[in-house]
Amino acid sequence: QITLKESGPTLVKPTQTLTLTCTFSGFSLSTSGVGVGWIRQPPGKALEWLALIYWDDVDLYSPSLKSRVTITKDTSKNQVVLTMTNMDPIDTGTYYCAHSNPRAFDIWGQGTMVAVSS
């Protein structure tokens, strides 16, 4: 059974860097074709893709956020980490990590709410 869980701060101040960790089980990020992505959702709004990392270390980023976002993986710990710099109140929302196989997000974490406020 595949599960993913996001963890990190619930509140960050403007200009700070956000670091979120996705801890997963039930699959390995060293298996061919597998990836883990990050998607966020402002309250009451649409899903927005942020980044995706694959088993072979290929990493993809949203063009609009590429300058602010970094995704890394630790295969031995079954974790994927997202960092987002220069946080702003408009970045407030729920952040999800999801398993990708490899082009669809077939299993999602429960999400973690992040508020950006001084």
Partner 1 sequence: SYDLTQTPSVSVSPGQTASITCSGDKLREKYVYWYQQKPGQSPVLIIYQDNKRPSGIPERFSGSSSGNTATLTISGTQAMDEADYFCQAWDSSAVVFGGGTKLTVL
**Which residues are near partner 1 by CB under 8 A?**
37, 39, 46-49, 52, 60-64, 96, 103-111
Which region holds residue 50: left if phi is over 0, alpha if psi is between -120 and 50, else beta?
Answer: alpha
> For partner 1, which is the closer residue by CB, 99 or 118?
99
Residue 103 Cβ vs partner 1, minimum distance, rounded to whole Å: 6
DSSP bridge partners of 1? none
Output 40 or 73, the one with its CB closest to partner 1.
Answer: 40
Comparing CB distances to partner 1, the nearer of 16 and 23 is: 23
Q: How far is the CB of 77 from partner 1 (least distance, A)?
A: 23
Compute the least distance from the CB of residue 92 to partner 1, in Å: 17
Q: Which is nearer to partner 1, 52 or 87 (CB)?
A: 52
Do 112 and 7 form a contact (C-beta atoms < 8 A)?
yes
The set of residues, in sequence order, having a beta carbon less than 8 Å from that of 114 and lying 6+ positions away, is 8, 9, 10, 11, 12, 18, 20, 91, 92, 93, 94, 95
